[in-house]
Chains A and B, each alone.
Chain A
Amino acid sequence: MEKLINQFEFGLFFWQILIFVGLILLLKKFAWKPILDAVNDREEGIKNALLSAENARQEMQNLQADNQRILQEARLERDNMLKDAREMKEKMVADAKAEAQLQGQKMIEQAKVAINSEKNAAMAELKLQVSTLSLNIAEKLLKDELSNKDAQTKLVEKMLGDVTIN
């Protein structure tokens, strides 16, 4: 112990304390503070960068999801539109068909009515002519009968042949 105490040197102690305390103060000002600040700043920077990268990723994901959703909606809308168009087309065709049928029916009806009326008119005409002709024939026959028998027969035959030609 005495040997240890004897090793203690006050002058050296003085210099050591002086140099060491000076070193601490100088290093604190010129080294440790800037170094630790820089390191802290850098760590904060890295932390922030990571955070913002994560945020960007999240945003990107949201954006992508949005896009997906919008795309989906557009697709759905397109499908709906197509479906509507198809329905409309079918309806129009069906409508047109019905209309045409109705029209046709109407025209047929009209035609039938016209034909009937024409037919009736023709029949009336025919009846009139037949009766006139019959009367004419009968008149001539009666006239010939009175004069010539042969001539009458010939006349009848001739008239009958005329009628067939007619």
Chain B
Amino acid sequence: MVILNRPLRLVVATFLACLPLVSFANQEIDSAKVNLENSHAVVAEGHHEGGHAEPTDVKSKIKAFVSHHVLDSHDFSFTQDDETGESWGFPLPIILLDEGLHMFSSAKFHHGKEVAESNGKYYVINHHDGKIYRTDASGTITENEETGFPSNVRPIDFSITKTVVSILGAALLMLFLFSSLAKSYSKNKGIASGPGRIFEPIVLYIRDEIAIPNIGEKKYKNYMSYLLTIFFFVLFLNIFGLTPLGINATGNLTITFSLAFLTFLITNLTANKNYWGHIFWMPGVPKPMRIILAPIELLGIFIKPFSLMIRLYANIFAGHIVLMSIIGLMFIFKSWIGSSLSFGLSFLLSILEILVAFLQAYIFTMLSALYFGSAVEEHHHEEGH
């Protein structure tokens, strides 16, 4: 009853604050135990299967774990036991376009350890970038001397990866939450009820504080669906990234690129005469200046969504790296003082990450609204300039 009397926000915030702690702690403890035991085992054994060098000491193991976490992967594993090579999770479907369609389960790769064969072609997951390359039967990957990237042929990869599953999950969750919220209005005489109810204030906030001030009373309605969807999509994926699922969708450049790409498309496809006028023939400045300004403004069209893409990607990516590195420090220190210090630090950082999750979703939506607003703004040159 006491909890019920507290403000809902507080309860939700507390819940969210606790989530990442439980999650990362568990995951890391598992792998830590494994790491400790395994490092001895590896040292004793002195060799391991596979062509590439696997990390042996705790430090580089943590580094490898962190850098693999932030990449997309072809199977959904929650945790794994390095000693037995056993992994808890589930495989995902692989769909490749390489002179024909190849569809098979990612279980064939055995978590990147084996070469998968499909329709007479051999594929392997490169350990470094988590991408699928076509190889020969033994799975050799030749690296380009200059760039260091593999020079093998890359098939077009339409696989349902971990990130695709995550965005699909977020999409389904949003569909469920918001359609139930929408239904609750008609059922409950215009007052929201049910689990989606906590989002109503946010919906109103986006309408009243983001859409209307930036786009204007007249045209904001056209953009509301996009702004609301993108806000909750980014927010949910950011929050998912802080849960034990180990998802990093908004810290993936492709995802942020496609979001920014949509903002770019909508901005430029709905833009009016004034917008283009301001870009190619800036009113109110001397003619020579207009010629200089035009390429700069034209560049601005692309820089705006580019900054959106990089901002979200870098914030979430960096947050994950820093948070996981500090959690990893616990297992490097292995002392009461050092480990508890880094635990405290990671606790604080987790809270900060929750703030960042909301903030980045807000900023993305806010700036999108700002760009839409500039695209449909009606100027009165006689008065303004």
Contacts and interface: CB of A to CB of B under 8 A. Distances in A.
A12 B255 contact: yes
Nearest to B161: A12
Contacts of B221: 36
A86 B68 CA distance: 110
B163 A27 contact: no
B81 interface: no
Given A12-B163, A15-B158, A39-B203, A30 B175 contact: yes
Nearest to B168: A19
Contacts of A35: 178, 181-182, 185, 200, 203
Interface string B229-259: 1000100000000000000000011110111
B5 interface: no
B31 interface: no
Contacts of B349: none
Nearest to B163: A12
Given A2-B147, A10-B156, A15 B167 contact: yes
B171 A41 contact: no
A27 B258 contact: no
Given A16-B254, A20-B233, A42-B191, A30 B156 contact: no
Interface in B54-87: 72
A13 B225 CA distance: 21
Interface string B177-220: 01101110110001110000000100110010000000000000
B interface: dominant SS: helix
Contacts of A154: none
B168 A32 contact: no
Given A20-B262, A24-B226, A24-B229, A39 B253 contact: no
Contacts of A33: 182, 225
Nearest to A24: B229
Contacts of A26: 175
A104 interface: no
Contact of B157 (A7, A10, A16): A10
Interface residues of B, number: 49
B150 to A, nearest CB: 11
A45 B182 contact: no
B258 A38 contact: no
Interface string A19-55: 1111110111011111110110110010000000000
A9 interface: yes
B160 A15 contact: yes
Interface in A140-154: none
A165 interface: no
B175 A27 contact: yes
Given A6-B149, A23-B171, A27-B229, A36 B160 contact: no
A38 B233 contact: no
A7 to B, nearest CB: 4
Contacts of A45: 190
Contacts of B135: none
Contacts of A39: 185, 200, 203-204, 207
Given A13-B258, A26-B175, A38 B182 contact: yes
A45 B161 CA distance: 47
B342 interface: no
Nearest to A21: B262
A17 interface: yes
Nearest to A17: B258
Contacts of A12: 72, 161, 163-164, 252, 254-255
Interface of A: 2, 4, 6-17, 19-24, 26-28, 30-36, 38-39, 41-42, 45
Given A6-B129, A9-B72, 11 more contacts: A12-B161, A13-B258, A20-B229, A20-B233, A21-B262, A23-B174, A27-B174, A27-B228, A32-B229, A34-B186, A42-B191
7 contacts: A13-B254, A15-B167, A20-B167, A27-B228, A38-B185, A38-B192, A42-B190
Q: Which 7 A-B pairs have the closest CB atoms?
A: A31-B178, A38-B185, A34-B182, A28-B225, A11-B158, A11-B157, A30-B179
